[in-house]
Structure 1
Amino acid sequence: MTDATEDFDARKAQASQWFSDLRDQIVAGFEGLEASHAEGPLADAAPGQFEVTPTKRTGPNGEDHGGGKMSVLRGGRVFEKVGVNISTVWGELAPRAQKAMAARGVPGMEEDPRFWAAGISLVAHLQNPHCPAVHMNTRMFWTPGAWWFGGGADLNPCLEYDEDTAHFHAEMKRACDAHDGTYYDHFKAWADEYFFIPHRGRARGVGGIFYDDLNTDAWDEDFAFTQAVGAAFLPAYLPLIEKRRVQDWSEEDRETQLRHRGLYAEYNLVYDRGTKFGLETGHNADAVLMSLPPIAKWY
């Protein structure tokens, strides 16, 4: 990780604005799916819209440590629950988080616990079991000793279609290949490892890409790649929902969906690094746990 003692204020602002702009594009795209759903199951229901709630992070004495927006759509005719959150937060890491960062090799973290982080995170759970759930996030992290980017996107169908998986991965590969021909294979393998559930002995979905600690000593290039990953999300995902939302489903399909959601919830609560970091750094708990499905089952 490159030393981050130089002035990064302008770069922080640039990254934070990008995540906000991406949030606006995705919210508009998802509300467009709700508005255009004219045939198939639930087509006669009212289209869903996002409810936006500001989030705040405060210090131990009530001082401002940033915040963001929690945007959640519930009970739509396409989406059963989808959240698109952005945040820009700063302060000092709690001892446990500071120790974890130091163990990851972040320079200077043992001496100086200050941090700044901005990003976007989304998880979508669909009404129709034929429509895959999805997760995407991108973020920038800064400390006095280092900076880096991370993120990715992965598809989580309960009823798998090979052509949907191929399309999603092709769009992720296109984003990667435009920046580095080695990225896709490396970040796909990382996603396969990261989104694996050890106590179930299986992946939580059909994968995608995942990367973290991205710092090639070229901030502009690494930021451009992170932008490409975010920009690839809608082309990778919207066509799948447009195709599958018109399919009828059975009670058996719904049961399969709810059991798969249980698997998803287990992963996010037990293993997900972002969930742990958000809760440990005092971010809004509702925003951190936005990823959990509205209904799930276990047997």
Structure 2
Amino acid sequence: MTDAMLDQKAEASAWFRQLRDDIVAAFEGLEDSHSEGPFAQAAPGRFEVTETKRQSDDGSDAGGGLMSVMRGGRVFEKVGVNVSTVYGTLGTAAQKAMAARGVPGIEADPRFWASGISLVAHMQNPHCPAVHMNTRMFWTPGAWWFGGGSDLNPCLEYDDDTAHFHAVQKTHLDPHGPEQYPRLKEWADEYFYIPHRNRARGVGGIFMDDQNSGDWAADFALTQDIGRAFLPAFVPLVEKRRSMAFGDAEKDAQLVHRGLYAEYNLVYDRGTKFGLATGHDANAVLMSLPPMAKWV
């Protein structure tokens, strides 16, 4: 591994941590500023922060990170913001899965390094949309790449919320080329689809994986702007909807939609599968699951 790659890995890891800090501060600010409507009289939520560890098969240290979870707040019923940097040797199943995706040399040399941030928010008020975001960098001796995106998952859909979320994503991606937003939007539409339900998980967003144009700096800049787009895309929707009145019907719709979200994450989500298969902290991997859900 070259000194340049060591520096790039450190730069990416530090940036994911800074993005985590910015989001945690913004979400606690939403809790503090919620002063009317449902849940406003509750104590503002705060994140509980836990260090996570990954152990290799021989029990040696293989990195870790921070799991930050808020439960039962004024605005967020459950939200997790995880950041990690892990490394080691991929198991046989993970090697085969990555080889099938075209990762060069992974079966001959299964060493890996991965860093990223992952976020899932489930809201108290069913008028507020659930949301997911992640950005990450992955390295093996044969390749490096970036991935990530964000997608909106409302149980009660508002066309203007969807339009705002997508418009902010497009604004942040356009400096990287006019083809980027349509490309990543289409990818999200395909990736966040639930085949056994014949429907999308939500109203879409942007997504990419295996991003390696050959220009590390350009790909990292694109990944950073995916992360920078998240707060301005999501926070205004929460501020607009968090004080709206709701009843049993709206709450029931929220719980049913959460069942849909849980199905996707447990059956199809690539990050969930990778985290569990590579020995990362199971609680951190599964923090995306909603606190309550139902099936009809």
Instruction: Please tell me the TM-score bracket, short chain as reference.
Output: over 0.9
Structure 2 unmatched ranges of 5 or more: none
SS of the residue 1:42 aligns to:
coil
State the Cα deviation string for residues 234-284 of structure 1 (Å, max 9, x = none). 000000000000100010000000000000000000000000000000000
SS of the residue 2:227 aligns to:
helix
CA contact (8 A) 1:5 1:144 kept: no
Measure, in 2, the Cα distance between the counterparts of 1:60 and 1:102. Answer: 21
* Aligned-pair Cα RMSD in Å: 0.9
Q: 1:89 aligns with which of 69, 83, 86?
A: 86
Q: Is residue 140 from structure 1 mapped to residue 134 from structure 2 by the alignment?
A: no
Measure, in 2, the Cα distance between the counterparts of 1:42 and 1:59. Answer: 43
SS of the residue 1:178 aligns to:
helix
Map 1:1-299 onto structure 2 (within 5 A): 7-299=4-296
Measure, in 1, the Cα distance between the counterparts of 2:73 and 2:7. Answer: 39
Measure, in 1, the Cα distance between the counterparts of 2:273 and 2:261. Answer: 15
Give the superposition deviation at 1:180.
Answer: 1.5
Give the TM-score, by structure 1 length.
0.98
Structure 1 unmatched ranges of 5 or more: none
Measure, in 1, the Cα distance between the counterparts of 2:68 and 2:157. Answer: 28
1:139 aligned partner, one-letter code: R
SS of the residue 1:116 aligns to:
strand
2:238 aligned partner, one-letter code: I
Give the superposition deviation at 1:6.
Answer: 7.2
Measure, in 2, the Cα distance between the counterparts of 1:178 and 1:114. Answer: 34
Give the superposition deviation at 1:64.
Answer: 1.1
- Structure 1's consecutive aligned runs of 4 or more residues displaced over 2 angstroms after TM superposition are 4-7
Measure, in 1, the Cα distance between the counterparts of 2:258 and 2:115. Answer: 28
Measure, in 1, the Cα distance between the counterparts of 2:152 and 2:115. Answer: 23
SS of the residue 1:185 aligns to:
helix
SS of the residue 2:161 aligns to:
helix
State the Cα deviation string for residues 171-195 of structure 1 (Å, max 9, x = none). 1111111112101111101100100
Give the superposition deviation at 1:61.
Answer: 2.5
- Provide the identity percentage: 71
Give the superposition deviation at 1:7.
Answer: 4.6
Give the TM-score, by structure 2 length.
0.99
Measure, in 1, the Cα distance between the counterparts of 2:244 and 2:13. Answer: 38
Measure, in 2, the Cα distance between the counterparts of 1:7 and 1:17. Answer: 15
Measure, in 1, the Cα distance between the counterparts of 2:98 and 2:247. Answer: 47
Measure, in 2, the Cα distance between the counterparts of 1:20 and 1:224. Answer: 16
Give the superposition deviation at 1:5.
Answer: 6.7
1:272 aligned partner, one-letter code: D
Give the superposition deviation at 1:62.
Answer: 2.1
* Equivalences, count: 296
Give the superposition deviation at 1:144.
Answer: 0.2
Give the superposition deviation at 1:103.
Answer: 1.1
Measure, in 1, the Cα distance between the counterparts of 2:246 and 2:61. Answer: 48
State the Cα deviation string for residues 15-51 of structure 1 (Å, max 9, x = none). 0000000000000000000000011111110000000
Measure, in 2, the Cα distance between the counterparts of 1:157 and 1:97. Answer: 32
CA contact (8 A) 1:70 1:85 kept: yes
Give the superposition deviation at 1:60.
Answer: 2.2
Give the superposition deviation at 1:71.
Answer: 0.1
Measure, in 2, the Cα distance between the counterparts of 1:198 and 1:107. Answer: 29
Measure, in 2, the Cα distance between the counterparts of 1:239 and 1:31. Answer: 15
1:155 aligned partner, one-letter code: L
Measure, in 1, the Cα distance between the counterparts of 2:249 and 2:57. Answer: 50
